[in-house]
Structure 1
Amino acid sequence: MKRGKVFVCFVAVGLLPLISFAQIKHHKKNNMEQSTPDHKLIIYQLLPRLFGNTKNVNKTNGSIEENGVGKLNDINDKALHEIKKMGFTYVWYTGVIEHATMTDYSAQGIKADDPDIVKGRAGSPYAIKDYYDIDPDLAVDVKNRIGEYEELIKRTHSNGLKVLMDLVPNHVARTYASDVKPAGVRDFGQDDDHSKAFSATNDFYYMPGQPFTVPGGYNPGGDEFKSPLKDGKFDETPAKATGNDVFSASPSINDWFETMKLNYGVDYMDHRCSHFDPIPPLWNKVYDILKYWTAKGVDGFRCDMVEMVPIEFWGWVIPKMKAEHPGIVFIGEAYDKGKYNDYIFKGHFDYLYDKVGLYDTVRNLTRNDYHTNTWGINAVWNHDSKGIDEHMLRFMENHDEQRIASPDFAGNPWLAVPGMIITATLNTGPVMIYFGQEVGEPGAGSEGFSGNDGRTSIFDYWGVPEHQKWINGGAYDGGRLSDDQKKLRGFYSSLLNAVNHSEAIKAGEFYELMMANEHQPGFDTKMYIYLRYTNNQRILVITNFNRDARTISVKLPDDLLHKLNLNGSKQFKDLLSGINYNTNDIKKGVEVTVRASSGLMLEF
C-alpha cells in the first residue's frame, strides 16, 4: 500500500465556512506532517484460538481437549473469501504469538509454564512467552507452527486482504525465553545486571534481594486443574516489576501479576527520569522483532498500551520501520485524549483507539442513557480529536469490551445500527468489527478466568456459539444462522461494502447538519445528521437512536447548497436498503422516515 495525500477535511460545529484539512494542518503545532493510507481501513478482528473452534462443550475452566481450540489452518480460503466479501480490507489476527499457557507442550520441546503465573487455562495472549514464535495451540503440526502462520499470511494476501498482528511492547510473561530466536539475537534480560533496581542497559526492572510472591487467593485453572507446578509459588529472584507499573515483589491478584514490565530507559524510582542517550538495548531488540514479522509479510501492527512505553521510542522506531516498509501501518491502543496529538505527530502512529471518545458516547446512546445525546458526537471530533479525527480507529466491539448483544451492553444487537453507521462513516479513519459481532454474539457464560461479564474470553478455551452457527462445521456459509441473524449480517455487509465502495466515505469531506435541522419538526437530540462528500459523490447520513421512528425533512444550509451547486429536484438512494427518496426542491429539504434505532445513507 502506498502512502499518499490525506483527502479528509473537518469543520467546526454549525454553519461555519468549510475548512480544508490542509488548512487545519497548517496551524498544527510545529507544522508537523503526518500522512495516512490513501484508503479507509476496514478491519476484522479475530482470535484464531476461538475463530475456527467448532466444539460447543463450553465447560468452565475446560481444557483444550474438552472445549477445543481453533487453528490457523481453520482460517482457510473459504473463510477469508467470506470476510473479504463482507467488505473488509484488513484482518487483525489477535493472539498468534506464543504466550504463557497451562497446556503442557513439553513433549514437543516447549518448556511448561508455571500455572501460578498464568491467567486462564489457555493463558492471556498479552503475556508473551517468545516474541519470535507462534502459539502452539494454533498449529495442526506444532513443530511447523511458524510455517502455518506464514501460510496464513500468504493465504490472507491471496484473498485480497492485509494482515495486522499484535505488538505487546510494555510487558512479557514471567516465563519469557525465546527458543527459536534468530542467530545473534540477545534475549530479553539475558545481559541484565540483577543487582541493580534500574539500569538503562537492563531490559527489566528488579527488586534486588526480594523473591517474587504469587498473589494469595489465586487458584489457577480452578479446583479440577492439577499440575505438579501448581503450588502457589514461582521461583523468581530477584523479583521483577509487574507489567502495570507495580514495583513490588508482591503484586496483588488484581495486578498484571503474570507479566514483567520492560525497561525502555525510564527510571520510575527517580521521578521517571529518562536515559535515552545512548539508546537502551531494548529499543533495538523490539525493532528487530518488528523487522522479523514484517519480513514474513505482516502489513501492520496493533500496539498494546502504547502510553505505557515512552513516546521517544515510538518516535524512533516507527519512522525506521516506515523508511524500510512505506506501506506499514501502526495502530496504538491509547486512552489519554490529552496525548493523542503527541502520539500522532511525535510518535508517528497512523491511528489510535477512539475508545474514550466516540465509543463511549455511542455506547451510552445505544443503551438509551437519558443523560446522553448526539451533541456529544460533535464534542468528539470538534474537541477531543480536533484536527486528528481521521487518525482515530472506531469500533463498537473488540476483545476488551462487552458484546453489544450482552445484557451488560444493549441486550439486542440491532440497537447498534445507528451507532455502527456513525462509527463506520464519520471520518476517513479505520472502522473495526470484532468476529461474532456481525451475528449478534452475546459473550454469555463464565468461561473460567473470565467470568460471566458480557465479554468473549481471551484467557480460556471456549466455543463462540452464535459465531459457530456461521462457521457451520467449517463450511463458513451461515447455514445454522437464524433468519434474524442473517439479516443482521446482511446489514453489516451492506454497511461495510457501502463504505468500501464509496469515495465520499473513504476520502470525502464532512459537514455537520445538526444545527441546520435542530428546529425542524421531528428532530431531536437522539438523531445525528451529516454529509460526506467529494466532487463526484454525496452521501447524506441520518441516524436515529430513538426507540421509535422519526419523520423529518432534512435541510442543507444555503452555504452548502451554494458550494455544491445544488438546486432543483433530486433523487436519493439509501445505500443500506436500496430504497429511493425524492425531493422536488432540494432547498426545501428531503423528507424521510427513519425507523427506530436505525439510519440511512442517502447517496445523491
Structure 2
Amino acid sequence: MKQQEHKKVIYQVFTRLFGNDNTTNKPWGTLEENGVGKFNDFSDKALTEIRELGVTHIWYTGVLHHAMVTDYSKFGISNDDPDVVKGRAGSPYAVKDYYSVDPDLAVDPLKRMEEFQALIDRTHENNMKVIIDIVPNHVARKYEGMNNPEGVFDFGANDDINFEYKRDNNFYYIIGESFKVPNWKNNYQPLGGEAHPLADGTFDEVPAKWTGNGSRLSQPHENDWYETVKINYGVRPDGTKDFDLLPEGYDKKDYKAHFDFWKDKTVPDSWIKFRDIAFFWLEKGIDGLRYDMAEMVPVEFWSYMNSSIKMKFPKALLLAEVYNPDLYRAYIHLGKMDYLYDKVGFYDSIKHIVQGHGWTDHIPKVQEEIFDIEHHMLHFLENHDEQRIASPDFAGSAEKGKPAMVVSTTISSSPTLLYFGQEVGEPGAENAGFGSPTRTSIFDYIGVPHFQRWTNRRQFDGAGLSSEEKELRTFYKKLLAFSIESDALMGEYREIHYYNKDQNPSYDHRIFSFVRWSDTEKLIIISNFDAFKSYDLNLLIPEDVIKNWGLVQGKYLLLDQLDDSLKNSLHVKDGKGILKIKLGPLQSNIFKMAKK
C-alpha cells in the first residue's frame, strides 16, 4: 500500500444551523421566529474547538446563494416562489447564484462575500482547510446571477429554447408546454399552508424545462426534484454523447495527460461554465470541492473539470457523491476524483450491523471489494442526507454508533467524515416543516438542540451538555485526534476476524478485529457491536502478522488510545500472539504497541 502523509478528517457543518441559539423550533418558522446562524458565529474559539476535535477540513454546507422564501428584495435580490422552494430556508442544492453566498449567513447581506472571505481566512488561521459544495447536475428553477464576473452569462441566457436539445444549451426544454407545479398529495402545502403572495400554485416557465432528477414531465411529481432544473452536458435525450470520448487507456494516465487531451477540444458550454465557477471559488482560497450527485454528470466532463482544476490547484481536494459501485473506478481513474462516498458498501453494511441485523463477517468482504481503491473511499456514519445515529430509525442511541465509528475511522487510509452534532448524539427529532424527523432539516430555519448545548450561546464550551454527551464528545475527540496523527492508519491492514472466529469459541459475529501497521507503529483494534453482551477472550494474532512485525518470543506492552488508563500485554510464544481481553458492551480498544 502506498504510504500517505496522514488521515484527513472532514467536519461537515450545516452553516446556517451552527451558531443558531434560538430554541423556538416552530414548524415552518420564519428566520425571525426560529433564528439562523451566521458566518461570524465561527469565531476563533469555535474553530479552535473544532480543530482540537481532530478536524483537518471543514465542509461548510449551504454556503452558495440558493433559492429561499425569506425576502431580501431591499438588498436587490429577487424573491423566490414558494411553489418551487423546498422549505422556507430553501435547499442548498438549488443554487440560484453561483457567484455569491447565502444572504441568510451574513450580518450585513450587502457584505456577505466579504464576511465569507473572512471565514475562509479565519479557518486557515486555525490550521484547517475549507470545502464547499458545487452542484453540477442542476440549478434552482429560477437561476439569477446578480454577481457574475465580467463576461459570464447566466445558465440558459443564450439557450435556443426552440429545441429540446442543442449541445451548447445549458438546459433541456419541453417544447410547447408550460411548467406546472406538482399535484401535491398527503395534504402537503408550501409553507405549511401559510398565505404568501407568490404561493398560488403556479410558476411561470415557458417552455418547461427538464427537472433536476431527469424528469421530462412539464408537471413533475412531488417526489421529483421539482425545485431544480437539469443541466445539459452535451448528452442527447437518447443518451448518446455529443462530445469527444476518452481513448482507451486513459484510466492509467495522470491528470496532466487528461488536461492535454481536452485543451484543443471544443466542449459544451455547461462544461466551461462549471470549470469557471470552480476556479472562481478556488481562487478565493477554497481548498476543496464536494460535488453533489456527480454520477448524474458524464465522467468525461469530470476528466475535463478536474484535470483543469489540478493544473492550477494541484492540492485541491475533490470529493464526489457517487452511489453506484460500478462507477467507482471510472470516476476515480477517468474522472480524476480524489474521494468518493463509501455508502453503498461500507456505510450500508455497518448501519445494518449497528441495528443488530447484520454480522461483522460482512465487513472484510466489503473491504476486499474496494481494496484497490480503499484510500479514495470516504467513510461516514452521518451526513445531511442520512439519518442521525441517535434517531429511532437508525440506532436509537448515540452509544451504539461508537464501535462503528472506531471501525469506520481506523479500517482504511480513507478520510473520515463527521457531521456536526454527531459528536454529542444529536437525534434530529425536530418537526421543522418540510424536513422530516430523523434527519436534521436542511430546508428549514431550525435549532439543533443537543448541539446548542455544546455551543452554549456561542461560548463553545459544552457547558450545557449532559455528562453522557460530554463523554461521547470526548470519545470522538480521542478517536479522531489519534487518527490524524497515526502512521499505521496510513499503512498496512489485515483483518484477524475470521482467524479468531475459526479458532476461538468465545469470539462471534458481534465482534470485529483487525491490525494496522507501519514501520513506526503497530495497532491491534477490536470492537464489540453488542449493546448487552460482554466478552472475555484471548484474541489471537496470526503467525504471519507476528513475523511481519518482527516480534520475538516475549511480552509486549500495549496502550489503549481510547482510554489512557487501560494497558494490556501481547504475549508471543511459538511464533503466535495472544492478547487477553475483557470487552464490555459497545466497547472498543485501539491497542498501540509501546516502543521499547
Provide Cα deviations, 1:358-406, integer angstroms capped at 9, x if missing partner: 111111111111xx111211121112x1310111000000000000011
Partner of 2:218: 249
Q: In structure 1, which of residues 565, 571, 582 is the aligned counterpart of residue 557 of structure 2? A: 571
Q: How do 1:141-540 and structure 2 match up within 5 A?
A: 141-217=108-184, 219-223=189-193, 225-268=194-237, 270-276=238-244, 278-369=266-357, 372-383=358-369, 385-452=370-437, 454-505=438-489, 507-518=490-501, 519-540=503-524
Aligned: 1:543 with 2:527: yes
Provide Cα deviations, 1:121-168, integer angstroms capped at 9, x if missing partner: 100000000000100000000000011110000000000000000010
- 1:392 & 1:76 partners in 2: Cα distance? 31
Aligned-pair distance for 1:552? 1.9
- 1:261 & 1:582 partners in 2: Cα distance? 59
Aligned: 1:556 with 2:541: yes
Q: How do 1:129-140 and structure 2 match up within 5 A?
A: 129-140=96-107
Q: In structure 1, which of residues 100, 103, 107 is the aligned counterpart of residue 70 of structure 2? A: 103
Q: How do 1:35-54 and structure 2 match up within 5 A?
A: 38-54=5-21
Q: Which residue identity is paired with 2:157? A: Q
- 2:496 & 2:505 partners in 1: Cα distance? 15
Partner of 1:602: 591
CA contact (8 A) 1:63 1:461 kept: yes
Aligned-pair distance for 1:318? 0.3
- 2:472 & 2:240 partners in 1: Cα distance? 49
SS in 1 for 2:545: helix
- 1:199 & 1:148 partners in 2: Cα distance? 39
- 2:550 & 2:505 partners in 1: Cα distance? 26
- 1:513 & 1:459 partners in 2: Cα distance? 44
SS in 2 for 1:222: helix
Q: Which residue identity is paired with 1:222? A: G
- 2:281 & 2:360 partners in 1: Cα distance? 42
Note the residue ranges of structure 2 that are not aligned, 5 or more in a row.
Answer: 245-264
- 1:338 & 1:583 partners in 2: Cα distance? 41
Partner of 2:2: 7
Partner of 1:34: none
Provide Cα deviations, 1:169-206, integer angstroms capped at 9, x if missing partner: 00000110101010111211111000000000100000
Mean Cα deviation higher: 557-566 or 116-125: 557-566
Q: Which residue identity is paired with 2:401? A: A
- 1:584 & 1:186 partners in 2: Cα distance? 69
- 1:271 & 1:474 partners in 2: Cα distance? 51
Q: Assess, with a 3 A threshold, how the Cα gap between structure 1 residues 386 and 584 changes in structure 2: closer, same or farther.
A: closer
CA contact (8 A) 2:543 2:577 kept: no
Aligned-pair distance for 1:489? 0.3
Aligned-pair distance for 1:216? 1.8
Partner of 1:25: none
SS in 2 for 1:419: helix
Aligned-pair distance for 1:584? 4.1
Q: In structure 2, which of residues 572, 576, 580 is the aligned counterpart of residue 585 of structure 1? A: 572
CA contact (8 A) 2:542 2:577 kept: no
- 1:564 & 1:396 partners in 2: Cα distance? 32
- 1:164 & 1:583 partners in 2: Cα distance? 42
Mean Cα deviation higher: 485-494 or 271-280: 271-280
- 1:584 & 1:214 partners in 2: Cα distance? 69
CA contact (8 A) 1:7 1:509 kept: no
Provide Cα deviations, 1:282-340, integer angstroms capped at 9, x if missing partner: 11110000000001100001100001000000011101101111100100101100110
Q: Which residue identity is paired with 2:9? A: I
CA contact (8 A) 2:144 2:154 kept: yes
- 2:414 & 2:5 partners in 1: Cα distance? 10
- 1:125 & 1:283 partners in 2: Cα distance? 21
Q: Which residue identity is paired with 2:305? A: V
CA contact (8 A) 1:521 1:553 kept: no
Count of equivalent residues: 564
Q: Which residue identity is paired with 2:560? A: D
Q: Which residue identity is paired with 1:510? A: Y
Instruction: State percent identity of aligned pairs.
Output: 45
Q: Which residue identity is paired with 2:80? A: D
Aligned: 1:61 with 2:22: no
- 1:275 & 1:316 partners in 2: Cα distance? 11
Q: TM-score, normalised by structure 1?
A: 0.92
- 1:498 & 1:593 partners in 2: Cα distance? 22
Partner of 1:32: none
Note the residue ranges of structure 1 that are not aligned, 5 or more in a row.
Answer: 1-5, 9-36
- 1:588 & 1:256 partners in 2: Cα distance? 56
Q: Which residue identity is paired with 1:522? A: S
Aligned-pair distance for 1:39? 2.8
- 1:189 & 1:543 partners in 2: Cα distance? 53
Aligned-pair distance for 1:588? 4.2
Provide Cα deviations, 1:392-421, integer angstroms capped at 9, x if missing partner: 000000000000011111111011111000
Aligned-pair distance for 1:78? 0.6
- 1:149 & 1:588 partners in 2: Cα distance? 54
SS in 2 for 1:474: coil
Q: Which residue identity is paired with 2:37? A: G
- 1:142 & 1:347 partners in 2: Cα distance? 37
Q: Which residue identity is paired with 1:7? A: K
SS in 2 for 1:341: helix
Provide Cα deviations, 1:260-293, integer angstroms capped at 9, x if missing partner: 000000012x244433563001111100000000
Q: Which residue identity is paired with 2:243? A: H
- 1:368 & 1:300 partners in 2: Cα distance? 36
- 2:406 & 2:181 partners in 1: Cα distance? 46
Aligned-pair distance for 1:228? 1.1
Aligned-pair distance for 1:515? 2.4
SS in 2 for 1:381: helix
- 2:530 & 2:81 partners in 1: Cα distance? 51
CA contact (8 A) 1:213 1:250 kept: yes
Aligned-pair distance for 1:527? 1.1
CA contact (8 A) 1:441 1:467 kept: yes
- 1:51 & 1:123 partners in 2: Cα distance? 16
- 1:584 & 1:238 partners in 2: Cα distance? 75
CA contact (8 A) 2:551 2:572 kept: no
SS in 2 for 1:473: coil
Q: Which residue identity is paired with 1:497? A: A
Q: Which residue identity is paired with 2:221? A: S
Q: TM-score, normalised by structure 2?
A: 0.93
CA contact (8 A) 2:7 2:485 kept: no
Mean Cα deviation higher: 389-398 or 214-223: 214-223
SS in 2 for 1:462: coil
Q: Which residue identity is paired with 1:187? A: D
Aligned-pair distance for 1:107? 1.0
